[in-house]
Amino acid sequence: MKRLRRITALVAIALAGLVATAPAEQKPLDINTATVEQLNALQGIGDSKARAIVSYRDEHGPFRSVDDLKEVKGIGDKLLESIRSQVTVASSPAPGGAAKAVR
């Protein structure tokens, strides 16, 4: 009986370890509402790029798509592709948001 309890305890510990090490499903970060700190947590986005994203958003309005991040200085195709699955544009941009004026 002691042996059975010991085996049961070891199995429970092993299963708990598996659950604890499983990657957590994380919702993509909305680039229209994210703070500098939240953006800074993304792989490849440091403090200066996070600040550049927020500054661009403040100056030009909300992003219409994730692809608009390419307009931010320091963010190119390679970096965008590496973070694409981690970011989203969930909030609706206001009319006249990040769209560029056509002249």
* Domain CATH for 73: 1.10.150.280
101 within a domain of the structure (yes/no): no
Segments forming the whole domain that contains residue 53: 29-88
Q: pTM higher than 0.95, yes or no? A: no
CA angle, 89 then 92 then 98, to 5°: 75
Number of domains observed in the structure of the chain: 1
Residue 6 confidence (pLDDT): 72
Q: Give percent of the chain above pLDDT 90.
A: 61
47 within a domain of the structure (yes/no): yes
Residue with tokens 């993304």: 42
Q: Give the span between the Cα atoms of 74 and 44, in whole angstroms.
A: 11
pLDDT tens string 35-75: 999 999 999 999 999 999 999 999 999 999 999 999 999 99
User: 97 pLDDT exceeds 50?
Assistant: no
96 within a domain of the structure (yes/no): no
**Three-state DSSP state, 43:** coil
Q: Give the span between the Cα atoms of 16 and 90, in whole angstroms.
A: 34
Q: Which helix (H) or strand (E) holds 53?
A: helix 47-60
38 within a domain of the structure (yes/no): yes
Q: Are strands 29-30 and 87-88 parallel, antiparallel or unpaired?
A: parallel
Q: Give the span between the Cα atoms of 37 and 24, in whole angstroms.
A: 20
Residue 93 confidence (pLDDT): 53
Stretch 29-34: mean pLDDT, rounded?
97
98 within a domain of the structure (yes/no): no
Q: Give the span between the Cα atoms of 87 and 34, in whole angstroms.
A: 10
Residue 17 confidence (pLDDT): 61
User: 80 pLDDT exceeds 90?
Assistant: yes
Residue 45 confidence (pLDDT): 96
Regarding predicted confidence, which is higher, 15 or 21?
Answer: 15
